[in-house]
């Protein structure tokens, strides 16, 4: 079995930043990715909140990072990590194709936005369907937009959007908002925000770009339509941590419990990016986590080899 100093599971901005820093420290690194390199940010057509770039695309930014770690000598495999076990000598990582050994592991598996499951949702991602107002909201300044959801993230997104969008439609499935009272009270006072309750999304309107949404009232079954340029879907996220629930501690929502040093409950396992417990999930914080996790993983490897 091939052995590495550090195996990084996940090749989004956190995982690849971790790889870059581990490689620069002289460590042998294997990066495992189960789906596509770059993570969620790869689907964002414009990125304007990452230092040094006035504007770029998520795909272009991740391509550059991929090239960078490749040039530094990372071994990169498109394989899914099915099981990770701690042994006396380190860790055994079993994928759908191979088994690898390593001294330390960095988990950077990210999250998936919970999709609403309406036809053409995937097709319109980046063309009027978004899961991140922090990432994409500014592109719709002066436009009518919709926020689908009823909890804290949805209300926070709606407040943010109301600062520069012409009108914000908040579309709630139930007869109330479940967000904290303080921010809900602020939202309901905004003149350019309309909250509509008891509606269920049935259709995205628009051919190449979103033009509107069709709903059904869950009580009366009557149709309800909204004209908008973008729908921000905020119905939760799903961390990709199921395969590690017996290795590290997860919180009640499935996120890996970690501190600001990116350490986990299992010695030698570190975590970076959106899959860990944290308050802010952005491209720049994922990259920051990657650097921190790399530093601590390298330190762990050095101490293990001393």
Q: How many residues does the chain have?
A: 306
275 is catalytic: no
- Spatial distance between the Cα atoms of 154 and 132, rounded to a whole number of angstroms: 10
Q: Is the pLDDT of residue 45 over 80?
A: no
The distance in angstroms from the start CA to the end CA of the chain is 23
Better pLDDT: 300 or 53: 300
- Spatial distance between the Cα atoms of 199 and 226, rounded to a whole number of angstroms: 11
- E strands of the chain, at which residues? 3-9, 29-32, 75-77, 81-86, 91-95, 99-107, 111-113, 129-130, 144-148, 167-171, 193-196, 199-205, 212-217, 223-227, 230-233, 237-239, 269-271
Q: Is the pLDDT of residue 294 over 70?
A: yes
Task: Tell me the average pLDDT across 91-118.
Answer: 96
Quick one: pLDDT at residue 75?
Answer: 97
Task: Tell me the average pLDDT across 145-174.
Answer: 95
The answer to whether the CB of 156 falls within 8 A of the CB of 183 is yes
Domains, the chain, ranges and CATH? Answer: 3-112+237-305 (3.50.50.60), 115-233 (3.50.50.60)
262 is catalytic: no
In the set 5, 22, 136, 298, the catalytic residue is: 136
Q: Is the pLDDT of residue 112 over 90?
A: no
Quick one: pLDDT at residue 282?
Answer: 87
Quick one: pLDDT at residue 54?
Answer: 83
Quick one: pLDDT at residue 279?
Answer: 87
- Spatial distance between the Cα atoms of 267 and 3, rounded to a whole number of angstroms: 18
The answer to whether the CB of 93 falls within 8 A of the CB of 83 is yes
136 is catalytic: yes
Least confident residue range of 2-6, 156-160, 209-213, 230-234: 156-160
In the set 22, 135, 228, 298, the catalytic residue is: 135
For the stretch 48-93, pLDDT in tens is 778 887 888 888 999 999 999 999 999 999 999 999 999 999 999 9
Quick one: pLDDT at residue 160?
Answer: 93
For the stretch 181-234, pLDDT in tens is 999 999 999 999 999 999 999 999 999 999 999 999 999 999 999 999 999 999
Q: Is the pLDDT of residue 44 over 80?
A: no
- Spatial distance between the Cα atoms of 282 and 276, rounded to a whole number of angstroms: 12
Task: Tell me the average pLDDT across 101-111.
Answer: 97
Return the structure tokens found at 47. 């990125």
In the set 132, 234, 262, 298, the catalytic residue is: 132
Quick one: pLDDT at residue 7?
Answer: 98
For the stretch 233-261, pLDDT in tens is 999 889 999 999 999 999 999 999 999 99
Quick one: pLDDT at residue 56?
Answer: 87
Helices 283-305 & 13-24, crossing angle to 10 degrees? Answer: 40
């Amino acid at each position: 079995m091939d052995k590495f100093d550090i195996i990084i599971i996940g090749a989004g901005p956190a995982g690849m930043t971790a790889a870059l820093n581990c490689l620069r420290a002289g460590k042998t690194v294997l990066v495992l990715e189960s789906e596509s390199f770059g993570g969620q940010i790869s689907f964002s057509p414009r990125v304007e909140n990452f230092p040094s770039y006035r504007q770029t695309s998520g795909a272009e930014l991740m391509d550059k990072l991929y090239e960078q770690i490749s040039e530094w000598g990372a071994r990169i495999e498109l394989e899914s990590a099915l099981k990770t076990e701690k042994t006396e000598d380190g860790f055994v990582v079993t994928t759908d194709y191979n088994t690898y050994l390593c001294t330390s592991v960095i988990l950077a598996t990210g999250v998936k936005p919970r999709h609403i499951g309406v036809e053409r949702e995937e097709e319109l991602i980046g063309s009027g369907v978004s899961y991140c107002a922090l990432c994409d909201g500014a592109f719709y300044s002066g436009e009518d937009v919709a926020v689908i959801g009823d909890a804290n993230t949805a209300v926070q997104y709606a407040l943010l959007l109301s600062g520069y969008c012409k009108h914000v439609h908040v579309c709630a499935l139930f007869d109330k908002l479940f967000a904290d009272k303080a921010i809900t009270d602020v939202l309901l006072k905004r003149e350019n925000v309309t909250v509509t309750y008891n509606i269920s999304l049935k259709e995205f309107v628009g051919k190449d770009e979103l033009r509107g949404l069709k709903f059904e009232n869950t009580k009366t079954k009557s149709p309800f339509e909204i004209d908008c340029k973008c729908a921000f879907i905020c119905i939760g996220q799903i961390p990709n941590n199921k395969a590690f629930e017996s290795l590290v501690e997860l919180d009640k929502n499935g996120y890996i419990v970690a501190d600001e040093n990116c350490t986990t409950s299992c010695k030698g396992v570190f975590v970076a990016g959106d899959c860990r417990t944290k308050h802010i999930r952005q491209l720049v914080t994922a990259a920051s986590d990657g650097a921190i996790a790399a530093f601590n993983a390298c330190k762990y490897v050095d101490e293990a080899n001393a």
